[in-house]
Amino acid sequence: MSLLEAILLGIIQGLTEFLPVSSSGHLELGKSLLGIEATSDVTFTVVVHGATVLSTIVVFHRDIFDLIKGVLQFRWNEPTDYVVKILISAIPVVAIGLLFKEEIESLFSNNVLLVGCMLLITGGMLAFTYYAPNEGKEVGKSKAFLIGIAQAFAVLPGISRSGSTIAVALLLGVDKKKAARFSFLMVLIPIIGANAKDILDGGLASSSVSTIPLLVGFFAAFIFGVLACQWMIAIVTRGKLIHFAYYCGFVGFGSIVAHFIFL
Per residue in 132-152, pLDDT (tens digit) is: 877 788 999 999 999 999 999
Q: What does the pLDDT look like over 71-128, one tens digit per residue?
A: 999 899 999 999 999 999 999 998 988 888 778 777 777 788 899 999 999 999 999 9
Domain presence at residue 101? yes
- Report whether 72 contacts 242 (CB < 8 A): no
User: Do the domain assignments include residue 213?
Assistant: no
On whether residue 179 sits in a domain, the answer given is yes
In this structure, of 14-28, 35-49, 70-84, the range with the lowest mean pLDDT score is 35-49
Number of domains in the chain: 1
Question: What range defines the domain where residue 7 resides?
Answer: 3-205+220-262
pLDDT band at 39 (very low <50, low <70, confident <90, very high): very low
What average pLDDT does range 148-159 have in this prediction? 91
Nearest Cα residue to 220 out of 54, 57, 28: 54
Calculated CA dihedral for residues 84, 85, 89, 90, nearest 10 degrees = -20
User: Exposed, middle or buried by CB within 10 Å (0-12, 13-18, 19+), for 19?
Assistant: buried
Residue 214 lies inside a defined structural domain of this protein? no
CA distance 138 to 62: 20
The answer to the question of residue 246 being in a domain is yes
Cα–Cα dist 104/93, whole Å:
12
Look at the pTM and tell me if it is higher than 0.85: yes
Between 239 and 255, the more confident residue is: 255
How many Å separate Cα 260 from the centre of its chain?
A: 28
Q: 212 in a domain, yes or no?
A: no
Tell me if 39 is assigned to some domain.
yes
